[in-house]
Amino acid sequence: MEEDLKSFEFGVDDVGIFLMESITTGLYKNPMNVLREYISNEMDNEPPASKIELKLESKKVTISGNGPGMDFDGIREAVRVGFSPKDVVENIGFRGIGIYSGVAICDRVVLTTKRTDNQNYYHIIIDCKGLRKDVAKGESISLVESLESNVGWKEIPASKALRRRYGTVVQLIDINEDFEEILDYDSVRNYLETTVPVKFERTFPYRGKIDSHLKKQLGRDFKVVDLKLDGKPVYKSPKYISLDSPDFGTINKGKRLVGVYWICQNSKTGKIDDEQSRGLLYRKKGFAIGNRSTVANVFADVKNKHLVEYVTGEIHITSSRLLPNTERVEFEASPDRDALEEALRKKVLKSIVKMSRTKSAKMRAEQRIEQASELLNTRPEFADREDWLSAITNAKRLRDNLRNDKKNKLIPNVMKKKVETKLKRVESWLLKNSEPPKEEVLAEEAPSEAEESAVIEGSICPDCGVVLGADETTCSGCGREFVGEIEEGLPAEAVAGVEEEKPLPKWIPGAVEEMCHRVGHSDWSDAIFLIMEVLTVESILKNDEEIRDVLEKIEHRLAL
């Protein structure tokens, strides 16, 4: 304050009752948050409460914990408004309004507490109905006067049997009709499972691995409590057990740690089934800040944002510069919050995308391994050349995909070994079945008597070279029978100087057709016709191996 300024010398009349209105009616939109405040008060004790129980009764909620309890100095500090001795770095609550959290939702708050070294119990009784009436009066009464009229305490000696007992019990009595949701068992349980730092569900397979990692990373900020609701244990989400092993990471602003996270991906394809477990959740000192939609909103305008619904996880904030707002549904605006959200959009989402791609790559590889097993376990039987060509084409496509899987860095080495084994066997299968099936030759129909005719006189039997006479149907040299023009011998004058033409090998048509399939030729019929013309000439001059070389050169040209 500048030296020439004078103080107003504020007093009782300068603190209006409307301050209580902002604390009570405007503090929590969700009445469930009242439960969180009383639970966090217990966990802020030193030592913190390790066991807390909630009991729901008709018009009443009871919260009890095994924290160390309070003596008179403790309760005197607790009733101060807006003052708190708590360290913002070490403690969960720090705004000094915790004991008044229930004023808006019930008619009376009764707090009973006792320390082990104290012979007496202390009771704090808050007349919430009276405070609300004073708020309605407006400026005619100060906050101090209202507190003096509506907040009191008394000391009660403990019996011998109870002198060793300690802890704190808070009772919210006569819950108002507008807030009876806080008495609904299922609603309260769902809230506690998400918000309070309770243990993981026993069926969650990675609870030990995650807890061990968080203890190491968070130190004193790692908090967990045994919580019971009406005598039944409460466990936190996720309860969904069909999950892959967790991925861990850190979020930093420069060299300074802002938070740590763990993420588990759905083992199945698609979104996490359980909506309460789907997505990411902020936590600070174990308590949730907002809900999973709070983090989802950070990805609202980002590509691949839908993949966040394929995972479940938590982001534990370690930075003391990231402070939750009064209702603890969001962090207050700050450079650290900007850095946190930027890291979520870039680093964390990138990690989720990689997890998704890795999963897809593994699933595809598993499918191909299974396809290879089906191929190798079935004895190949081809109905015709077209059936063979289709099987060969599919097998080669499978071989190429397995080759790609073998090179894929996203696929783990254990799976790559399986891929490599199947690849070798598929390649062997292709080698064994490289030849098309032989076409069945249909028996020629016997000509009718009208179609029978003698060969031309002077013709030569192509088998033995004997000159045939007119009207002869049987060769006198070898006994070959001649029927119709199909079996007509060569004229004797045409034999001299003519080289016998080699027939086209039977494997060529199928090989040409398969080649056209491989190169994806747009007009196979024309290509086959032209290639067959070339190979017909080549077959006269070359053997099978040389013809295959010619075919390979033609395929290379077509592919280009």
Is the predicted pLDDT of residue 453 greater than 60, yes or no?
Answer: no
Is the predicted pLDDT of residue 8 greater than 70, yes or no?
Answer: no
pLDDT attached to residue 470: 57
pLDDT attached to residue 207: 93
The contacts of residue 244 (CB under 8 Å, 6+ apart) are 264, 265, 266, 267, 355, 359
**pLDDT > 70: percent of the chain:** 73
Is the predicted pLDDT of residue 140 greater than 80, yes or no?
Answer: no
Least confident of 159-163, 341-345, 413-417: 159-163
Residue closest to 519 by CA, chosen among 393, 331, 361, 348? 393
Work out the average pLDDT over 310-339.
91
Work out the average pLDDT over 198-227.
92
Q: Give residue 211's pLDDT band: very low, low, confident or very high (50, 70, 90).
A: very high
SS3 127: strand
Is the predicted pLDDT of residue 489 greater than 50, yes or no?
Answer: no
pLDDT tens-place string over residues 362-385 = 999 999 999 999 999 988 888 888
pLDDT attached to residue 535: 59
pLDDT attached to residue 90: 47
pTM: 0.69
Q: Give residue 469's pLDDT band: very low, low, confident or very high (50, 70, 90).
A: low
Work out the average pLDDT over 303-310.
92
pLDDT tens-place string over residues 425-437 = 999 999 999 888 8
SS3 62: strand
Work out the average pLDDT over 331-336.
90
Radius of gyration of the chain (CA): 44
Work out the average pLDDT over 13-37.
69
Q: Give residue 539's pLDDT band: very low, low, confident or very high (50, 70, 90).
A: low
Least confident of 1-5, 160-164, 453-457: 453-457
Work out the average pLDDT over 144-161.
84
Which residue has better confidence, 22 or 46?
Answer: 46
Side chain identity at residue 117, one-letter code:
D
Is the predicted pLDDT of residue 488 greater than 50, yes or no?
Answer: no
SS3 259: strand
pLDDT tens-place string over residues 342-363 = 999 999 999 999 999 999 999 9
Burial class from Cβ neighbours inside 10 Å (0-12, 13-18, 19+) for residue 202 reads exposed
Q: What are phi and psi of 151, to 5 degrees?
A: -125, 125
Is the predicted pLDDT of residue 87 greater than 60, yes or no?
Answer: no
Least confident of 77-91, 294-308, 543-557: 77-91
Query: Are the beta carbons of 25 and 179 closer than 8 angstroms?
Result: no
pLDDT attached to residue 443: 46
pLDDT, averaged across the chain? 80
pLDDT attached to residue 383: 85
Q: Give residue 238's pLDDT band: very low, low, confident or very high (50, 70, 90).
A: confident
Q: Give residue 3's pLDDT band: very low, low, confident or very high (50, 70, 90).
A: low
Pairwise CA distance, residues 201 & 214, whole Å: 17
Of 127-141, 352-366, 507-521, highest mean pLDDT: 352-366
pLDDT attached to residue 482: 59
pLDDT attached to residue 448: 47
Which residue has better confidence, 410 or 13?
Answer: 410
pLDDT tens-place string over residues 260-278 = 999 999 998 889 988 889 9
pLDDT attached to residue 307: 93
Query: Are the beta carbons of 50 and 66 closer than 8 angstroms?
Result: yes
Pairwise CA distance, residues 85 & 71, whole Å: 15
Least confident of 78-82, 185-189, 249-253, 285-289: 78-82
pLDDT attached to residue 7: 46
**pLDDT > 90: percent of the chain:** 44
Pairwise CA distance, residues 428 & 421, whole Å: 11
